[in-house]
Amino acid sequence: MAKGDPITDEKREEIRKRIRELHAEGKSRNFIAKALGRSGRTISEEAGHIGISFAARAGQVAAATEVRQADLADRRAAFAVKLQDIAEREAAKLSEPLLYWDWGGKDHEFDTHLAPEPTPADKRALMGTVATALDRSLKLVPPKDESGVEEGLALITQLMSGLTAVYKAHQQDQEADEGA
């Protein structure tokens, strides 16, 4: 069955039978739609004709989605910490001695040299690593706005709600006085 194919009476009975089976197995509307090669809307309509609703599961789906999003937020925060650690570790290397090594010569001899600090090119590479790690860390978990803007907006919203309530009460009192 392809999406968009008209549903004949034969297909309709087959589709409804499969909807009953898959729904009984606890499958979601979208899963059933994909399995049957039909749109979610078609599945909902056909399910409605046989007394099946997917609305009862909406709360479960919403709760599961909320839990999954919270888990992902925790994982992003943990990964942001790892990226911050990488940035700090690489930044510390900018002024530390660095062991350089080389295979060279006609006999492929191994040689090492301890430099008091990295070369300018290596410092540039380290700074690139630091900048990338910090940037990604900040994108995963942006710093909180501690300017007080959010609190100010909340206070203004509360004030406006209070003023609106007082105004409405005043209007009701005037209408009551005029009606008396």
Report pTM. Answer: 0.50
Average pLDDT over residues 141-165: 82
CA distances from 139 to 26, 90, 136 (A): 37, 19, 5
Helix (H, G, I), strand (E, B) or coil at 37: coil
Answer for the pair 97, 115: CB distance below 8 angstroms, yes or no. Answer: yes
User: What percentage of the chain has pLDDT greater than the value 70?
Assistant: 97
pLDDT, position 179: 72
pLDDT, position 149: 77
Question: Could you report the per-residue pLDDT of 63-115, keeping only the tens digit for each?
Answer: 888 899 999 999 999 999 999 999 999 999 999 999 999 888 788 889 999 99
pLDDT, position 1: 53
**Confidence band, pLDDT 50/70/90 cuts, at residue 172:** confident
Backbone angles phi, psi at 139, to 5 degrees: -70, -35
CA atoms within 13 A on the CB side of 45: 7
Question: Could you report the per-residue pLDDT of 6-61, keeping only the tens digit for each?
Answer: 888 888 999 999 999 998 888 888 999 999 999 988 998 999 899 888 877 777 77
C-alpha angle with apex 110: 107 to 111, nearest 5 degrees?
A: 125
**pLDDT of 120 above 70:** yes
